[in-house]
Amino acid sequence: MPNLNAPKNRFCRGILATVLPLALIGTPSLQAEESDFAGLIRGKSPDRGVYQPPALPQAATVRAAVEVPSAFEANDPQAETNEINTVGYEESAPGQPMSLNHSEPSSGSGNHSAPMPRPSESLWAEPDPHFEYDNSCDAFPHNQCDGACCAEVDAWRGLEGCTDPDRWFGSVELLLMFRSGDTLPILATTSAGGLGQGVLPVGPPGDTRILFGNERVLDDMTAGGRLTLGTWLDPQRCQSLVVRGWGAGDDSFRFARQSNGSTVIARPFLNTDPFSPGSPIADSLPIAGAVGGQANIPGRLSIEGSNEVYGADVALRRQWLAGLGGVIEVLYGYQHVRMQDHLAISSVSLPVPNVVTVRDQFDADNIFHGGQFGLASRYREGCWSFDGLIKVAAGSIRREAYRAGVADVGSGPTAPGLLVGLSNSTPIRNSTFGWVPELSASLGYRYTENLDFTFGYHVLAMSDALQASGMIDPDLAVNRNPAAGPNDPSPGLRFDTYYVHGIQFGLQYVY
């Protein structure tokens, strides 16, 4: 029996073969399978090959995770040139992949666009209009000590990226200093019973008591200051020139005692006059009490002294080591220190008929000039910092001793005095090699971006220095007849190490 459905099936297959390729033209992502009937429909038309979709790069089809703010794109003239806004394609020859055209995007319906993200978009953040910027230590985001910007600071070598570095730096500091002081011999005595002459020795079996002396003086705290000024000599901040000037202030003392005659005031000494009975013998210069064979003679005594020290230096500093937030520098240069010491002893007695006045004065001057060498260190951790200095200077110490003594018994002042006579009144000047070591350490807290509060300790010494006690005859020896016997008081000088030390408070302009 003939199959009546065969012509019908062939007819349906022909219709599908004709319509299906037309329907698939609008869907380029699908691939049509050619049939014999489709080949007959196309006839001798050239074979265009099978359509392949463009193979776009992944970066061009994926939008950046962080969108660029519109305000940024509007204000950035480079936005259009730095981004890939469109991607076009053209049909390739049979068997070849599609190629991208970045320079001349197609204007047809098949044009694709995929904006590329800018490299800086992930770091961009809109500023907060309500945030107030300041220069305090913990200011955010740009001025904080612990922030990402200032974290790159290498031991105060500048705030690159935070501020424009300044060429100059410096500090002003308050120095609360203590001196080594000076120990003076016994210079004033009295009598416990009121009938003695204040003759040494002190205490039993005699009745002499000390009024002044045999104690340390000029060791009280004084207020001084130090000024530091420096400048960088190279852009890399490896060399700097630092100038300092400082002073420890003037320390002084004054002892005064007066009597109406009922209390003894005397100045003890050792009488080495060969014509005195029992020479040498302990003796005294009466001021109040029994004076010149008269009893109850009024009188007064004053002893005053002072000490002053100051200095300056200039040094070239060169970086030696750096790392772990710290810097060690080598310094070398010139240093100057001057120390002056003064002592004066004055007495007035009122016997009849003449007033007796006696005065002894001692002045010492020490001047140091030399070269210095040492190390300076700096370290910073967040808002805290540490500065250290250790150095030594070597050079010449010029020492000058001036002693003068006068007495007035009513006919005018004439030499000698008591502890200063013709034997030791000649000025003495000499020079010697000496040392001036110095040590300083301070802790700082950064209050603003360029200002630190500092607190620390400082000590400076001078070897072979001359003070007032080194100018007084150690035995208080006096020869009232210089034409014979020993040459007293002795003109010799004694030297010792002098130093100042104390704490320091300051404000430092940080570089």
Q: What is the DSSP string of 219-244?
A: -S-EEEEEEEEEEESSTTS-EEEEEE
pLDDT for residue 179: 95
pLDDT for residue 374: 98
Candidate from 10-19, 40-49, 230-239, 310-319 with smallest mean pLDDT: 40-49
Q: How confident is the model at residue 13 (pLDDT cuts 50, 70, 90)?
A: low
pLDDT for residue 58: 54
pLDDT for residue 300: 96
Taking 80 as the threshold, does the pLDDT of residue 303 lie above it? yes
How many CB atoms within 10 Å of residue 218? 23
Is 42 domain-assigned?
no
Closest alpha carbon to 253 in 341, 365, 367, 357? 341
Residue type, 165: P
Is 101 domain-assigned?
no
Is 148 domain-assigned?
no
> Beta strand pairing status for 100-101 and 88-89?
antiparallel
Is 109 domain-assigned?
no
Ranked by mean pLDDT, the top range of 148-162, 189-203, 381-395 is 381-395
Taking 90 as the threshold, does the pLDDT of residue 14 lie above it? no
What's the pTM value of the predicted model, to 2 decimals? 0.68
pLDDT for residue 120: 40
Mean pLDDT, range 378-405, rounded to an integer? 95
Q: 421, 472 in Cβ contact below 8 A?
A: no
234 φ, ψ (degrees, to nearest 5): -145, 155
Taking 60 as the threshold, does the pLDDT of residue 15 lie above it? no
Taking 50 as the threshold, does the pLDDT of residue 110 lie above it? no
Q: 400, 364 in Cβ contact below 8 A?
A: yes
Interatomic CA distance for residues 399 and 401, integer angstroms: 7
Paired tokens of 464: 């072979």
Q: 407, 346 in Cβ contact below 8 A?
A: no
**Is residue 280 reached through a cis peptide bond, with omega within 30 degrees of 0 on the bond before it?**
yes
Query: 447-498 pLDDT, tens per residue?
Result: 888 889 999 999 999 999 999 999 999 999 999 887 777 889 999 999 999 9
Partners of residue 311 on adjacent β-strands: 246, 337
Q: How confident is the model at residue 129 (pLDDT cuts 50, 70, 90)?
A: very low
Paired tokens of 65: 């995770």
Is 459 domain-assigned?
yes
How many residues are there in the chain?
511
Is 383 domain-assigned?
yes
Interatomic CA distance for residues 76 and 87, integer angstroms: 22
How many CB atoms within 10 Å of residue 64? 15
pLDDT for residue 429: 96
pLDDT for residue 269: 95
Q: How confident is the model at residue 413 (pLDDT cuts 50, 70, 90)?
A: confident
Query: 274-295 pLDDT, tens per residue?
Result: 888 878 899 999 999 988 888 8
DSSP, residue by residue, 370-429 = EEEEEEEEEEEETTEEEEEEEEEEEEEEEEEEEEEEEEESSS--BS--SS--TTT-S-EE
pLDDT for residue 333: 98
pLDDT for residue 292: 81
Q: How confident is the model at residue 501 (pLDDT cuts 50, 70, 90)?
A: very high
Interatomic CA distance for residues 399 and 503, integer angstroms: 28
Is 269 domain-assigned?
no
Closest alpha carbon to 363 in 389, 393, 381, 341? 341
Q: How confident is the model at residue 206 (pLDDT cuts 50, 70, 90)?
A: confident
The domain spanning residue 334 has which CATH number? Answer: 2.40.128
Taking 70 as the threshold, does the pLDDT of residue 389 lie above it? yes
Q: What is the CA radius of gyration of the chain?
A: 49
Share of the chain above pLDDT 90, in %: 53
Q: 118, 67 in Cβ contact below 8 A?
A: no
Distances (CA, A) of 260 to 133, 300, 304, 358: 74, 9, 22, 18
Count how many domains the chain has: 1
Is 360 domain-assigned?
yes
Domain hosting residue 395, numbered range: 172-184+222-261+299-509
pLDDT for residue 445: 94
Mean pLDDT, range 223-250, rounded to an integer? 94
**What mean pLDDT is reported for the chain?**
78
Give 269's contacts (C-beta < 8 A, 6+ positions apart): 283, 284, 285, 418, 419, 476, 477, 478
pLDDT for residue 52: 57
Candidate from 146-160, 257-271, 348-362 with smallest mean pLDDT: 146-160
Candidate from 216-225, 318-327, 397-406, 475-484 with smallest mean pLDDT: 475-484
Interatomic CA distance for residues 314 and 327, integer angstroms: 20
Helix (H) or strand (E) holding 348: strand 326-349
Place of tokens 């000599």: 233
